Structure 1
Amino acid sequence: MGLKVAIQGIQGSFHHQVVSRYFDEEIHLEECLTFRDVVLSLKNQQADKAIMAIENSIAGAILPNYALIDSNNLHIIGEYFLDIHMNLMGLYGQKIEDIKEVHSHPIALLQCANFFSQYPNIKLVESSDTAITAKRIQENQLKGIGALAGPDAASIYNLEILADGIHTVKSNKTRFVVLKATNKEIPKELINKASVKFELDDTPGSLATVLNVLNNCKLNLTKIQSLPIIETPFTYAFFVDVVFEKYKHFEKAKKVMEIMTTHFKVLGEYERSKQ
């Protein structure tokens, strides 16, 4: 049957693009409506692994996904950076002037706002996924409706690209993480990146002290993200990504951080993406 991989969305979505580029083996796709369903698919062993978007170079971090990974004790075992290429597509034989509505994910619509400002007659409609409208257009032969999605969606659903690369900021990347319910995946000698989470007492300079520890242990900080702790107003958990040349440097930092912070947790140890 092949490896079962859960994604939010359907074939032709950006999550599916990552699956097709990241994995070399035969894949069975577990299509999920929401990211919470992706998590359940992993925890219920319906899927072996999952792909989840975690941050975008324009829109920033996807905070609910950090919380889902943490609260469900999932493990990051890899990452992939995907160039987000937005295309307007519809049934063959149509022109942009024939399109009355364009449906897509709200972030996708936002990322193409400048392009659509030239076409005030086109109504922009939010949907749950970039590829779902592409599928619906083909299945129901919907004229006058356009989909905003990646190039794979046009190919899978046999649609014509009416306008190519219409996202406003051309250097648009999304970072996706590869998830498992358990963390036994990668040999130590290949691990050169880690994602950790911790909380701090309300002491002046406590975060600066932790960051100094990372630096002294020869770890390079590539991401720091705070997330409010709902139960305790105005307190925060910190999610941090670090890269390193030797795993022993990270092991040393872990021991120190376990002492200096509260609720310290390793979310994943993995091989850094080449981007």
Structure 2
Amino acid sequence: MIKTVAIQGIKGSYHHIVSKQFFETPVATIDCLSFDRVVDSLITEECDAGIMALENSIAGGSIIPNYALIDKYNLHVVGEHYLDIQHSLMALPNQSILDIEEVYSHPMALLQCKEFFRDYPHIKLIEDKDTAEVAERIQNKKLKGVAAIASEFAAEIFELNVLAKSIQTIKNNETRFAIVQRTKTDLLESEISKASIKFEANHKRGSLATILNVMSDCKLNLTKIQSLPIIETPWKYAFFVDVTFDDYANFQKAKSLIEIMGDDFKVLGEYKNAKL
């Protein structure tokens, strides 16, 4: 049973919201201001699971370093969760947006909301570590003229006034989060409908295309493919791939073939597809 979860960010962050929505029973959270710290908490058994953002639908795409962390430390993806990210602009009470001179937030949040601030050229946008941590700082230090971009949940927790809601450029803004553990869970094969795998394609002509054809022939639906350079081997790449399937037997067949055809094949996780 999961009791403690490491999250990137603090209370009120989007990772915190995922921890409240994904798990069936309440969990305690360990606040981490980096994904490396999330992984450290898992490795040292300070927590039972970790939550890591993997990709966003509108800005930044895949968070490539997180794929590398999961692979490097042999973590297991045991679940996924999609969260509708709605950014709000918040500050101490009794201020209007015209009083705001500086806005701090995570670089991804700033990127997703940059169009909103074209109408407010007087505001300086400044990158920071975490959305909710900025909201907390504004409250603790009573910073006037300073605003944060964070969730409405953060505004509630830190008693800030929401100056504008849903300020991201594209309103349908989803982030996919992975739930990771030190060991894999014991799901029934009938419950598994998605998998994350990693492999390296050799330099032979058409090697990657051949592997992708195997996935298609085995009735796997490719939902994500991400390449990552292998530092020790110039011009060779590792591929991180997500696939969905209706029959686990099809995935088993594909695994056996890709293991032969690709180098350094690894299953990063088998879990339920959250986008059914």
- The TM-score normalised by the length of structure 1 is 0.97
Q: Deviations 1:108-166 (Å, cap 9, x if unpaired)?
A: 11111111111111111111001111011111222111010011111111111101111
Give, in whole Å, the separation in 1 of the partners of 2:131 and 2:48: 24
- Give the corresponding residue for 1:170: 171
Query: What is the aligned-residue RMSD (CA, Å)?
Result: 1.3
Secondary structure, aligned partner of 2:252? helix
- Give the corresponding residue for 2:234: 233
Contact 1:2–1:26 (CA under 8 A) maintained in structure 2: no
Q: Which amino acid aligns with 1:217?
A: C
Offset of 1:2 from its aligned partner?
Answer: 6.8
Q: Does 1:48 align with 2:22?
A: no
- Give the corresponding residue for 1:146: 147
Q: Does 1:35 align with 2:22?
A: no
Which residues of 2 match residues 36-185 of structure 1 at below 5 A? 36-58=36-58, 59-185=60-186
Q: Which amino acid aligns with 1:257?
A: I
Give, in whole Å, the separation in 2 of the partners of 1:147 and 1:224: 33
Q: Which amino acid aligns with 2:38?
A: V
Give, in whole Å, the separation in 1 of the partners of 2:103 and 2:171: 20
Secondary structure, aligned partner of 1:242? strand
Give, in whole Å, the separation in 1 of the partners of 2:149 and 2:245: 38
Contact 1:106–1:127 (CA under 8 A) maintained in structure 2: yes
Give, in whole Å, the separation in 1 of the partners of 2:51 and 2:266: 21
In structure 1, list runs of 5 or more residues that go unmatched: none
Give percent identity, aligned residues only: 55
Which residues of 2 match residues 176-215 of structure 1 at below 5 A? 176-215=177-216
Contact 1:102–1:122 (CA under 8 A) maintained in structure 2: yes
Secondary structure, aligned partner of 1:272? coil
Contact 1:195–1:266 (CA under 8 A) maintained in structure 2: yes
Give, in whole Å, the separation in 1 of the partners of 2:191 and 2:85: 28
Contact 2:112–2:168 (CA under 8 A) maintained in structure 1: yes
Offset of 1:3 from its aligned partner?
Answer: 0.8
Number of equivalences: 275
Give, in whole Å, the separation in 2 of the partners of 1:127 and 1:186: 39
Judge which range, 263-272 or 114-123, deviates more: 114-123
Secondary structure, aligned partner of 1:195? strand
Which residues of 2 match residues 214-229 of structure 1 at below 5 A? 214-229=215-230
Over 6 Å off, 4+ runs = none
Contact 1:2–1:28 (CA under 8 A) maintained in structure 2: no
Secondary structure, aligned partner of 1:113? coil
Q: Deviations 1:193-246 (Å, cap 9, x if unpaired)?
A: 000000111011111111111111111111111100001111100111110011
Which residues of 2 match residues 252-263 of structure 1 at below 5 A? 252-263=253-264
Give, in whole Å, the separation in 2 of the partners of 1:16 and 1:49: 13
- Give the corresponding residue for 1:16: 16
Give, in whole Å, the separation in 2 of the partners of 1:254 and 1:24: 31
Give, in whole Å, the separation in 1 of the partners of 2:93 and 2:186: 45
- The TM-score normalised by the length of structure 2 is 0.97
Give, in whole Å, the separation in 2 of the partners of 1:235 and 1:219: 25
Contact 2:20–2:26 (CA under 8 A) maintained in structure 1: no
Secondary structure, aligned partner of 1:60? coil
Q: Which amino acid aligns with 1:35?
A: F
Contact 2:4–2:29 (CA under 8 A) maintained in structure 1: yes
Secondary structure, aligned partner of 1:117? helix
Give, in whole Å, the separation in 2 of the partners of 1:2 and 1:209: 40
Give, in whole Å, the separation in 1 of the partners of 2:111 and 2:26: 34
Q: Deviations 1:168-214 (Å, cap 9, x if unpaired)?
A: 11121111000001013422210000000001110111111111111
In structure 2, list runs of 5 or more residues that go unmatched: none
